[in-house]
Amino acid sequence: MSSSSDLFARALQLIPGGVNSPVRAFRSVGGTPFFTKEARGATLITADGRELIDFVGTWGPAIHGHNHPRIKAAIAAALEHGTSFGTPNPYEVEMAELIVRFVPSIKKVRMCNSGTEATMSAIRLARGFTKRDKIIKFSGCYHGHSDSLLIKAGSGALTHGNPDSAGVPVAFAQETVVLPYNDVPALTAAFAANPGKIACVIVEPYCGNVGFIMPDAGYLAQLRAACTANGALLIFDEVMTGFRIAKGGVQERENIVPDLTCLGKIIGGGLPVGAFGGRADVMDYLAPLGPVYQAGTLSGNPLAMAAGIASLRLLEELNPYARLDQLGRQLSAAVLAAAKAKGLPAQVPQCGSMFSIFFTATPVRDYATALTGDAKLFARFFHACLAQGVYLAPSAYEAGFISTAHEGAAIDRACEVLANGIKGL
């Protein structure tokens, strides 16, 4: 078996930067990435044979831990019947029924293959439905890598010091109004400056791609009210928070009804899946019923549906949210106590199984305050933890994810390692 360094050397010859998604390259923390040959429960096993306690969870999907036996069995059972049909299949119906049960604001839903497809299609749908072109997004919110949305888009772009990607036409960017998150006056001003022009507001209701940031009390309700008052659709991008913050996502926890919701990550149980859904009158604008085109060769793929269905059923059965929140609290308390003992300013926003660690004295409530976090110090902390067997996301601007598989020894050990990491800074 090749080592991580051998594999990376080979990858660098053929794959740009050696990776198929930029943040995996460790550019913001330095060093070279490890390769994973196997993952189970809370553990990654590297190509070099190291076992790491994983808080990346394949960037969100692995809420039940890696390679959960029930999800594995569901994929294996589906595999017996074929890998793709190109016709409607029974799994798609079961998935749609589960989604509308979990997320009541969703009356109709369309499956796709990634979170990026979900947000891109939801935006097109909002534009088609409202017959308006402009959209509002918030700096630091990431909604995948489609053109209109890759503007001030959080971690990946931040890490590379290049918030606006080359290759996005200026004319596209001009249709995207970017505002600070948690800033109601800025929102009101943007609507006033663009009367009758805003198709939708898209938001990560809890931000997870600039580190983890929660809204001020009442902020999401203000977003809802402003959209309603101005005839714009409110799109919650819950690709990361859906099924994670609560069974019904942030909208359940905050009691807000968006017009459209984007889903991904957990909904695929570790296979590539996305979905978007919401109001029936809006969703009926999609082809073949309506004029907004959206399609996918592998959309509703039976293996991906089977994995996602198993993942959602497990959530329904286990209702793990209170337990996950306890694990999250344990972790954030350990980090804060260690930082205090060291006299190091730190913010550890946490809700349920999402958290992040910012080394700053400034409370983090938006993109600008997230940037006050000491990224160099985070890089040293990251490597100290990795050396001791704990894998945090390799960027100061990513959320951490806890799974049910962390309960017990893994979380206790991780708290110890994180505390030691801070002590050694």
Ligand X SMILES: *Cc1c(COP(=O)(O)O)cnc(C)c1O
Interface residue list for ligand X (CB under 6 A): 114-116, 119, 142-144, 204, 208-209, 237, 239-240, 264, 274
State the catalytic residue, choosing from 108, 152, 247, 265.
265
Residues 6 or more apart in contact with residue 159 via CB below 8 angstroms: 22, 23, 27, 28, 395, 397
Of 245 and 338, CB closest to ligand X: 245
Minimum CB–partner distance for residue 59 and ligand X (Å): 6
Minimum CB–partner distance for residue 274 and ligand X (Å): 6
- How many Å apart are CA 245 and CA 248, to the nearest integer? 8
- How many Å apart are CA 79 and CA 327, to the nearest integer? 35
Of 208 and 215, CB closest to ligand X: 208
Minimum CB–partner distance for residue 56 and ligand X (Å): 12
Report how far apart the first and last C-alpha atoms of the chain are (Å, whole number).
Answer: 35
Yes or no: say if 391 and 55 are a contact pair by the CB < 8 Å rule.
yes
Chain residue at closest Cβ approach to ligand X: 115
State the catalytic residue, choosing from 54, 183, 237, 366.
237
**What is the Cα gyration radius of the chain?**
21
State the catalytic residue, choosing from 54, 134, 137, 142.
142
Of 115 and 211, CB closest to ligand X: 115
Respond yes or no: is residue 134 known to be catalytic. no
Yes or no: say if 389 and 417 are a contact pair by the CB < 8 Å rule.
yes
Strand order in the sheet with 108-112: 108-112, 274-278, 260-264, 233-237, 198-203, 134-138, 176-179
Q: Is the peptide bond before 288 cis (omega within 30 degrees of 0)?
A: yes
Computed from CA positions of residues 356, 152, 103, 298, in that sequence, does the dihedral angle turn out positive or negative? negative
Of 230 and 350, CB closest to ligand X: 350
Beta-bridge partner residues of 51: 45
Rounded to 5 degrees, φ, ψ at 178 are -105, 125
Minimum CB–partner distance for residue 142 and ligand X (Å): 5
Of 115 and 394, CB closest to ligand X: 115
- Dihedral of the alpha carbons of 143, 147, 148, 154, in degrees to the nearest 10: 40
Minimum CB–partner distance for residue 337 and ligand X (Å): 29
Of 142 and 321, CB closest to ligand X: 142
Respond yes or no: is residue 72 known to be catalytic. no
- How many Å apart are CA 79 and CA 225, to the nearest integer? 46
Respond yes or no: is residue 265 known to be catalytic. yes
Residues 6 or more apart in contact with residue 285 via CB below 8 angstroms: 125, 128, 129, 291, 292
Minimum CB–partner distance for residue 118 and ligand X (Å): 7
Yes or no: say if 150 and 166 are a contact pair by the CB < 8 Å rule.
no
* Catalytic residue annotation: 142, 237, 265
